[in-house]
Amino acid sequence: MSLGEIFKTALTDTALGMGTVFLILIFISVCIWLMGILCRERRPAADAAAARAGGASADGEITPELIAVITAAIHQSIRDEGGADDSDEYIVRNVRRATWKHTS
C-alpha cells in the first residue's frame, strides 16, 4: 500500500466518523427542540401549580407560609447536623428571590 492510498483511507475514515458524529448531534438537537415545542403548552399550568404548592402566589409574592417552611427547613437541617436545638438561635427575618444571572 502506497503512502497516497494510506492518506486516502485515513481521510475517508475521518470524514465518515466525523460525519456520523455530527449527524447524530444534529438528530439529538432536533429531538430536544421538538420536546421543547411539545411541552410548551403544558408549562403555564405547571408553573402556576408549582407556585401555589411552593407557597408563592402566581405574581411571585412570598407568603408567610413560605417563610415558615424555610424556617422549619433551617431548624431541621441544624438538628440533623447535631447542632443546638435552640429554636431562638436562628430567625428568618428577610426572604427575597435570588436572581441567578451569570456575570461571565
pLDDT per residue over 3-16, tens digit each?
Answer: 999 999 999 999 99
d(CA 68, CA 23): 51
Mean pLDDT (the chain, rounded): 78
pLDDT level of residue 103 (50, 70, 90 thresholds)? low
- Residue written as cell 430536544? 32
Q: Containing domain of residue 20, as a range? A: 1-41
- Rounded CA-CA distance 60/54 in Å is 10
Residue at 104 is within a domain: no
The grid coordinates listed for 76 are 431541621
Chain-centroid distance of CA 71 in Å reads 24
d(CA 30, CA 19): 17
Tally of domains in the chain: 2
pTM passes above 0.75: no
Are 31 and 60 in a shared domain? no
